Amino acid sequence: MVDKLSLTDLNFIIETVATKRRDYDNIREIVWDKPDLLDIMLDDPKLFQRVMNEEEVFVRISPYLFFEVLLRQAKRELKAQRYTYEKAAFSATIPVFDAPQAGELLAQGKVRRYLAGMLASFTRTHSATVYYRVRGRLYSKRYSDLSVDDLQDLAQLVDEEYRFPLYRRIGDLCLFLTSIYPEYIEQELRYPFTKARRPAFFSRKSRDIDDYIEEGSRFYRMASEDRRPAQAETNSVLRTLADSFFLARKPLMHIADRYLCFKKFDLFS
């Protein structure tokens, strides 16, 4: 956990939680060697309140810490609830009795930390122009990491050993869109104020939320097959997300609905 936080992150945590002490340098040295203590401090409700109420909080902390704190609050709230809401039909929702299970998923530290890093990664998005040859002729194409189609096309151009990060990013993007921006999927899929689907142009696939869920689970599973030893811990998380993709959306939807609201349009590119 400590290795994911900057020095300014750690100072922010200590200043917020250790309100009865001022020997911050001593506390910082203790926290570096005691991850269990840091874990307790990150669960302090004062930290969530400050993160939510302080203006320009990203001047003080990293996006990773911001989402780690929000996910911990979501864990507490979901474990105390009985159900979450899921869209059942056009503009209709139904309760699903899975809130405690969603909270327990966040209680898995490796999963929660992965989700915090994933959300933080979408505060900055990237595009690149790739040059490649087909039958001796040079082509170029611009790819965005906010497009499932672009990422799938790019994965077909690189050798297999380089595909796993792209598979993982596709899983991340499917999870991100279906939980933080489900309205974007509906907007792209259907004509306004109707249930009629838009046509798919230029051979780009038309997807609904169920399609994104299916593809996200599938690509997480493919990404988890990376055999490099350094990826072993991440692969176990990816397998968990592949098996629990539908459930993993719930805490992120909780965050989007309860904490971010219209802020998400400023947070994410």
Asked whether the CA dihedral 254, 259, 262, 267 is positive or negative, the reply is negative
Statement: residue 123 has pLDDT above 70: yes
Q: Which domain holds residue 23?
A: 1-61
Q: What is the pLDDT of residue 196?
A: 52
Considering the domain architecture, whether residues 147 and 35 belong to the same structural domain is answered as: no
Q: What is the pLDDT of residue 89?
A: 52
Quote the mean pLDDT of the chain. 89
Q: What is the pLDDT of residue 21?
A: 81
β-strand partners of 128: 143
Burial of 135 (0-12, 13-18, 19+ CB in 10 A): exposed
In a domain, 74, yes or no: no
Assign 125 a pLDDT band (cuts: 50, 70, 90): confident
With H, G, I as helix, E, B as strand and everything else as coil, classify residue 192: coil
Q: Domain count of the chain?
A: 2
Helix (H) or strand (E) run with residue 114 in it: helix 109-121
160 residue type, one letter: E
Considering the domain architecture, whether residues 51 and 142 belong to the same structural domain is answered as: no
Question: CA dihedral defined by 11, 14, 17, 22, rounded to 10 degrees?
Answer: -110
212 vs 135: which has the higher pLDDT: 212
Domain finish residue from 19, 43, 61:
61
Is-contact 260 53, C-beta < 8 A? Answer: no
Percent of the chain with pLDDT over 90: 62
Considering the domain architecture, whether residues 132 and 216 belong to the same structural domain is answered as: yes
- Residue pLDDT, tens place only, 164-216: 999 999 999 999 999 999 988 877 765 444 555 544 433 367 899 999 999 99
Considering the domain architecture, whether residues 188 and 262 belong to the same structural domain is answered as: yes
In a domain, 120, yes or no: no
Q: What is the pLDDT of residue 42?
A: 96
Considering the domain architecture, whether residues 57 and 161 belong to the same structural domain is answered as: no
Q: Write down the pTM of the prediction.
A: 0.89
Statement: residue 128 has pLDDT above 70: yes
Considering the domain architecture, whether residues 47 and 166 belong to the same structural domain is answered as: no
The position carrying tokens 């969603």 is 102
Q: What are phi and psi of 256, to 5 degrees?
A: -60, -40
Task: Report the candidate in 88, 240, 223 with the shortest Cα–Cα distance to residue 167.
Answer: 223
- Residue pLDDT, tens place only, 232-251: 999 999 999 999 999 999 99
Considering the domain architecture, whether residues 57 and 131 belong to the same structural domain is answered as: no
Considering the domain architecture, whether residues 155 and 39 belong to the same structural domain is answered as: no
Question: CA dihedral defined by 121, 122, 123, 126, rounded to 10 degrees?
Answer: 90
Considering the domain architecture, whether residues 143 and 253 belong to the same structural domain is answered as: yes
Task: Report the candidate in 97, 91, 85, 59 with the shortest Cα–Cα distance to residue 183.
Answer: 91
Considering the domain architecture, whether residues 50 and 132 belong to the same structural domain is answered as: no
CA–CA distance, 257 with 244 (Å, rounded to integer): 21
